Amino acid sequence: MADKAFRIVRAGPGSRPVMLAIAGDSAAGKTTLTRGLVQALGPDNCVSICVDDYHRYDRAERRDLPFTALHPDCNHLDIMEQHLQLLASGQPILKPVYDHSTGKLARPERVEPNRYIIVEGLLPLHSKLSRACFDVTVFLDPPEEIRRGWKLARDTSARGYSREQVLAELDRRTSESEAHIRPQRSHADIVVRFAPIAVRDDPPGTPLSAELVLRPTIRHPDLGGVLANHRTMHVKLCRDTDGRPVDTLHVHGYVPTEESRSLEKAMWALLDQPGDVPDGLGVLGAEQRSEPLAITQLLLLFHMLDAA
Amino acid sequence: MADKAFRIVRAGPGSRPVMLAIAGDSAAGKTTLTRGLVQALGPDNCVSICVDDYHRYDRAERRDLPFTALHPDCNHLDIMEQHLQLLASGQPILKPVYDHSTGKLARPERVEPNRYIIVEGLLPLHSKLSRACFDVTVFLDPPEEIRRGWKLARDTSARGYSREQVLAELDRRTSESEAHIRPQRSHADIVVRFAPIAVRDDPPGTPLSAELVLRPTIRHPDLGGVLANHRTMHVKLCRDTDGRPVDTLHVHGYVPTEESRSLEKAMWALLDQPGDVPDGLGVLGAEQRSEPLAITQLLLLFHMLDAA
């Protein structure tokens, strides 16, 4: 179906899943961001899929190919579009499975649609048709040196690569990342960047700050009143790198927990939801917590609940 | 999409694949029938898939289940319907793969639609929506004792089962076959039965005769003139087992090759196709040939070319 026709169908009556896309390069933090959202929405109301499962070739086959896993031709993107449309209209799919630990394509798995569907991966916002499936779209945009560090740490520990292999792969991917991953940034409603603040010397161990570009393509919560008393978080009107007007929400890594918690409560109140701020936000690892991550997740949660 | 809506879409303008369904129980002869059709249509114009690939559980998982692979609940029939609709509207699919030799579910494979698509398996005609995808539908209906012999021979040689296992499985499946496979017979445009003729004592080695129930649900070729001079083939008006009026085409196993060949030529002429009768029809195995099978395949070929 053409993208416009599908948008019209989606906008019609009937209860359909709320769909959030989280796009970004390898090791940009998609899984970490997703995990907290699933936890907060409740695993019973929510399903998350990774569209890197739509890889057309396994790791061994890719060795002989002139492109990397980032290239559209290396993925069944038309099938991904099909499946996103099916999920967006409330139908189940039989999703392919790429096993990152072995690099092999495995038995597919059935995915039932649910009230909330989070779709993360390298190329979920690649085409007009795929974008038409989403209610909210996010692009993760960490500084390149930070992402490289994350990728090195993960791929050498969890995916069985050597340090040299990861570095070589990162170089091999640079041009394809520029050509195919980064352009999705301009299609996102929200661009999320976790980074140290340039102008400060944070003490070691300070969590990264979050800089969120909020495009007026969706209706964001009115944070003006909520942020009035916060010195470490603020919204600023500015121009994006392409010149388009945007709001930018800064959440500093050194934000005191009590300040962050009060913002979370205020944002939660804006949503008019029962109960307290849900658990599971801001979790980085077994022991680590990041307030900027929690605020980011809460904003996404706001949009998902608001769309429902 | 509802089945009627989909039939209307299919009947609309645009060139869409011609789709043939061949339904029938395990070892009813579906693959043999299909092989000759693919050969005759030309592998470049034609794709065949087996919908038993939509098994929901692998062989090991099925051991603990209260039903067999014949049961609708043992298959992703809704996904099969989705994929049939996609193919019928000219879109590719990522088809699951069930490996009969190992009994495992494997990496899915991409299937591009083609001019002709043959879909064989246990349950392709199970639902209204799946049936709406086809131009021509066939049910294979061999006598049970013949099918059991075929299944024993195949499953003990090619699928790694012992004789006792196959016999036990046949018994286990009887009630589900009655409940889920056989009802598809009444939805087929053509019912094909290969069997010895009851009233004759054919010499050993005589191929099975074919009895084809031709339902007036599609426009069959006018075989009256073509068959006027044939003693071993005839069309008869009669009532089907359910009382509905049908034509029945008999092709006797002892039909002399020259007689069968002249019928094939006459049928081919009815189609107004260039060239001679295509190769590959009637092939049973490496060395064996069956004229009744060749005539059956030619009739199906007639319908596929006619629908195109």
Chain B CB within 8 Å of residue A110 CB: yes
What pLDDT sits at residue B214?
96
pLDDT for B13 equals 61
Query: Which residue has tokens 């969590």?
Result: A207
- CATH code, A50: 3.40.50.300
pLDDT of residue A226: 79
How far does CA A144 lie from the centroid of its chain? 16
Q: Is the pLDDT of residue A204 over 80?
A: no
Question: To the nearest whole number, what is the mean pLDDT of chain B?
Answer: 91
Q: What is the average per-residue pLDDT within A65-87? A: 96
What are the tokens at A194? 């976790």
pLDDT at A270 over 90: no
**Average pLDDT value for chain A:** 91
Q: What number is the ipTM of this complex?
A: 0.83
Query: A134 and A4: one domain?
Result: yes
Confidence band for A205, pLDDT divided at 50, 70 and 90:
confident
> Are the C-beta atoms of residues A36 and A48 closer than 8 Å to each other?
no
Q: Are residues A23 and A133 in the same domain?
A: yes
CB-CB neighbors (< 8 A) of A91 in chain B? 78, 82
Q: Are A270 and A29 in contact (CB under 8 A)?
A: no
Tell me, what's the pLDDT at A101?
A: 87
Distance CA B218, CA B265 (A): 22
- Which of B80, B104, B139 is a domain's end point? B139
Contact with chain B for residue A99, Cβ under 8 A: no
The pLDDT value recorded for residue A249 is 93
Residue B49 belongs to some domain of the structure: yes
Question: What is the token pair recorded at B199?
Answer: 């009233």
Read off the pLDDT band of A269 (50, 70, 90): confident
pLDDT in tens, B99-144: 988 999 999 999 999 999 999 999 999 999 999 999 999 999 999 9
The residue to which tokens 């609709």 are assigned: B85
B102 and B230 part of one domain: no
pLDDT at B14: 65
CB atoms within 10 A of CB B29: 24
Indicate the pLDDT class of residue A199, thresholds 50, 70 and 90: low
Same domain, residue pair B23 and B108:
yes
**Residue range B36-57: average pLDDT?**
95
Residues of A in contact with B92 (CB under 8 A): 78-79
Strands (E), B68-151: 93-99, 104-111, 116-121, 136-140
- pLDDT of A129-167, one tens digit each? 999 999 999 999 999 999 999 999 999 988 888 999 999
Structural contact between residues B208 and B195, judged by C-beta atoms closer than 8 angstroms: yes
Which residue on chain A is closest to B105 by alpha carbon?
A: A107
CA of B94, closest CA in chain A: separation in Å?
A: 7
Question: In chain B, which residues have their Cβ closer than 8 Å to the Cβ of A76?
Answer: 94, 110
pLDDT at B17: 95
Residue A246 lies in a domain: yes
Q: Among all residues of chain A, which has the CA nearest to that of B56?
A: A110
Distance, in Å, from the CA atom of A97 to the CA atom of B193, rounded to the nearest integer, reads 41
A193 and A129 in a common domain = no
Tell me the residue range of the domain where B88 lies: 1-139
Tell me the three state secondary structure of residue A220.
Answer: coil
| Dihedral pair phi/psi, residue A117, rounded to 5° | -125, 125
State whether A1 and A120 are in the same domain: yes
Give residue B256's pLDDT band: very low, low, confident or very high (50, 70, 90). Answer: confident
Distance, CA of B18 to CA of B36 (rounded, Å)? 17
Instruction: Verify that B11 and B128 share a domain, yes or no.
Output: yes
Count of domains in chain A?
2
Q: What is the CA radius of gyration of chain B?
A: 19
Both structure tokens of B75: 């298959």
Helices and strands (DSSP H and E) totals, chain B: 10, 10
Distance, in Å, from the CA atom of B299 to the CA atom of B220, rounded to the nearest integer, reads 8
**Nearest-angstrom CA–CA distance, B239 and A166:** 71
How many angstroms separate the CA atoms of A93 and A114, rounded?
12
Q: Where is average pLDDT lowest: A1-10, B35-44, B220-229, B281-290?
A: A1-10
Higher pLDDT pick, B117 / A229: B117
Residue A254: other Cβ atoms inside 10 A: 14
pLDDT in the model for residue A59: 93
Torsion of CA B129, B130, B134, B137, to 10 degrees: -120
A contact test, residue of B6, B54, B107 with most A CBs within 10 A:
B107
B174 belongs to a structural domain? no
Please compute, for residue B13, the number of CA atoms within 13 A of its CA located in the half-sphere on the CB side. 0
Whether A105 has its CB under 8 Å from any CB of chain B: the answer is: yes
Ranges A33-37, A39-43, A196-200, B238-242, most confident: A33-37
> What is the C-alpha to C-alpha distance for residues A282 and A257, in angstroms, rounded to an integer?
11
Q: Report percent pLDDT > 90 for chain A.
A: 68
Q: How confident is the model at residue A1 (pLDDT cuts 50, 70, 90)?
A: low
Tell me whether residues A110 and B86 touch, CB distance under 8 A.
no
Domain boundary among A138, A165, A180: A138
Residue B107 and residue B240 share a domain: no
* pLDDT band for position B200 (cuts 50, 70, 90): low
Euclidean distance between CA atoms B220 and B233, whole angstroms: 16
